[in-house]
Chains A and B, each alone.
Chain A
Amino acid sequence: MTQHPGFGPDLAEVFGPAAQDGGPELIQLLTPEGERVEHHDFRFDPGAGVDEAETIRGFYRDMVLTRRIDTEATALQRHGELGIWAQLLGQEAAQVGAGRALRPQDYVFPTYREHGVAWCRGLDPLKLLGLFRGVDQGSWDPAERNFGLYTIVIGAQTLHAVGYAMGVQRDGAVGTGEPDRDTAVVAHFGDGASSQGDVNEAFIFAASYNAPVVFFCQNNQWAISEPIERQTRIPLYQRALGFGFPGVRVDGNDVLATYAVTQAALQRAREGQGPTLIEAYTYRMGAHTTTDDPTRYRLSEDVERWKLRDPIARVQVYLKRNGLADEAFFAAVAQEADELGVHLREGCKAMPDPAPLSMFDHVYSELTDELTAQRDGYAAYLDTFEVSAGSTTEGAAR
């Protein structure tokens, strides 16, 4: 089917099979084989006076530990300690690259899968588990590390990010040139979420107000069972242009490129140049969550192909081949991962169930009279079990 003249190029030609592996627009600085490559627009810059090798070793460590959080939580779910877990296997570089490019004053709005970004923000990963264990709905103070609560309703947080960025703008924390003051906001979301009205509205608001926000889309190729083609017929990053701001596609399995691109986009935002869309091109190696069965809808060959682009292996090869890390370093990281594993296992199992009456806390700034009556009535009801059964826990366990 050829296009009617005047309607521009034929999309099938422009976005055909050639775009399958990320296409020519993919920004890459470290190949899957562990080779550093140049890019005309982006380069990896760890900052003045910072040792490059040390930074890359740090990324390696972050990714290994992030992966450990994931495998440990997956195992905890299998053992019944978590109700469910959203796995990030394969997306470590996208998240660590994005997370490490942040400055303390920047603010992050995550989905439910940003365990690696949480790690970079310094959140105790144990805190991530509460939501999935069913003991809380977000146990950290978002303001403490400028890391928002996980958002399960797809795409909702992208609007929050834009609004927060508009607040930053109004506070005069953009374009002052002071590195500790100028602030950017990151909205994380997935390829599936890009179809939501909220996300498209977020794009429009961000463009309209030139908000200091970076839209960071991890295109992991799947929204549960739906492949990316169900959500878009052009590369996602190109959507940005239609909304009036730039978009780029970065190799999301390349931590150096993701870091470089995110850093540049955050800097644009901080300088007052407005929003950017980053499409981190990656792959969801695991199931959507621990309750999902991907064998029903995708081919194992695809997964095998993506294994060759593993985000951690390429950094390891690079460090080893260039003599930038010795065996002692890798052993130390492995050791640290084991310790993190113990911390998560023991900490998770020790997490108590919430007290039944805590359900009435924080519905409002102050408990209303109505709710007080309801809570007291329920407490009195629970007490009747104490009398008859001799133990509150027995009553409460019903």
Chain B
Amino acid sequence: MSGQKVTLAKALNMGLRKAMEDDPKVLVMGEDVGKLGGVFRITDGLQKDFGEDRVIDSPLAESGIVGTAVGMALRGYRPVVEIQFDGFVYPAYDQIVCQVAKMHYRSQGRSKMPMVIRIPFGGGIGAVEHHSESPEAQFAHTPGLKVVACSNPVDGYWMIQQAIACDDPVIFLEPKRQYHADKAELDDSEAPEPLFASRVVRRGADATLLAYGPTVKTALNAAAAAADEGRSLEVIDLRTLSPLDMAPVYESVRRTGRAVVVHEAHVNLGLGAELSARITEECFYSLEAPVLRVGGFDTPYPPSRIEEEFLPDLDRVLDAVDRSFGF
């Protein structure tokens, strides 16, 4: 497979396939994941090759999917649950927050919950309501859950396998508008980075952009545009949202003195708030300006014809960078 160029959708599909080949206890569950291969085709072909017992089309009930996955996990399986769209995870919210997140704690570590809950998240695909949400903070706020977001095909391939191998429940966020956007070369021979690690994806000296999932590309584009204007921006792909991997962030911000967080989720009590607080606590004397946040406004996700107004874009990121330099 070395050298193959694939999309994020294909990379996730290959990662799932590899995980299923490696461990017979890995199961896939969800709505339309079987014959259809999921509405985004992430599970394409898996039911054909692994059978209906391992790739399970579920009745249309998210609480049911996650709740039965809990039972499967208690029986020794490693369920990978697909939630069809971000906005449809809420019927399962109770199971995720009250059951999945707490099982290990309540059982004093006796019952493991090695479950992955895959959620296509974020906007930008012109969809109707409930199809463009960014619910990460709701899960990152819940002790017991780990939350990660991939941003590119190579990460998609490795991170899904690592999440499946993880003994803790992982909320696995996939930027749906990136599914079929860019291709990248997969190289199986290189060892992957650890799952719960952030990564500097572009070196820079003047300010640090913090992004994850769909906004990594936005941040990289902004950094490229800034470079044309003589400003050098560092970009960090957080990758893990809970736990956060702050060491690379602190190291970067201490060097640049400025940080701008970019996410699609509402700014109010979003992940940016936590990042801002931690950076302020740890890098106070290095900061040249307050940490700024660029994100979705504190409104419901708007009708798709104006979603580009809601979503952080290159201009809004650069505007925040300008404001940072204005301090």
| Interface set of A (CB-CB < 8 Å, partner B) | 83-84, 112, 130-137, 152-154, 192-193, 195-198, 223-226, 230-231, 291-292, 296-297, 353-356, 358-360, 363, 370-371, 374-375, 378, 381, 384-385, 396-398
- Complex CA–CA separation, A375 to B297 (angstroms): 9
Check B303 against A153 for contact (C-beta < 8 Å). Answer: no
Digitize B110-139: 1 where CB-to-A-CB distance is under 8 Å, 0 elsewhere: 000000000000000011111100000000
B130 to chain A, nearest CB (A): 5
B308: interface (CB < 8 Å): yes
Given contacts A132-B128, A196-B91, A224-B31, contact A356 B306 (CB under 8 A): yes
Check A398 against B130 for contact (C-beta < 8 Å). Answer: no
Residue of B nearest to A359 (CB): B302
Given contacts A131-B303, A197-B91, 5 further A-B contacts (CB under 8 A): A134-B303, A197-B64, A223-B60, A396-B309, A398-B308
Contact partner of B31 among A197, A226, A354, A355, CB < 8 A? A226
Check A360 against B64 for contact (C-beta < 8 Å). Answer: no
User: Which residues of the partner chain B approach A358 to less than 8 Å between Cβ atoms?
Assistant: 302, 306
Q: What are the 8 closest A-B residue pairs judged by CB atoms, nearest first?
A: A134-B304, A225-B36, A195-B59, A192-B60, A359-B302, A134-B305, A356-B309, A297-B35
B269: interface (CB < 8 Å): no
- Complex CA–CA separation, A193 to B313 (angstroms): 37
Check A371 against B88 for contact (C-beta < 8 Å). Answer: no
Given contacts A152-B130, A381-B319, contact A363 B305 (CB under 8 A): no
Check B35 against A296 for contact (C-beta < 8 Å). Answer: yes
Contact partner of B309 among A84, A196, A359, A371, CB < 8 A? A359
Contact partner of A225 among B35, B126, B319, CB < 8 A? B35
A224 to chain B, nearest CB (A): 5
Given contacts A195-B59, A224-B31, A296-B35, contact A398 B315 (CB under 8 A): yes
Check B310 against A193 for contact (C-beta < 8 Å). Answer: no
B208 to chain A, nearest CB (A): 22
B24: interface (CB < 8 Å): no
- Complex CA–CA separation, A3 to B34 (angstroms): 30
Check B57 against A230 for contact (C-beta < 8 Å). Answer: yes
A300 to chain B, nearest CB (A): 15
B76: interface (CB < 8 Å): no
Given contacts A196-B60, A197-B91, contact A359 B32 (CB under 8 A): no
- Complex CA–CA separation, A134 to B306 (angstroms): 8
B39: interface (CB < 8 Å): yes
19 contacts across the A-B interface (CB closer than 8 A):
A112-B128, A130-B303, A131-B128, A131-B303, A137-B128, A137-B129, A152-B131, A195-B59, A223-B60, A225-B32, A226-B31, A226-B57, A230-B59, A353-B305, A354-B302, A359-B299, A360-B299, A363-B300, A374-B297
Residue of A nearest to B58 (CB): A230
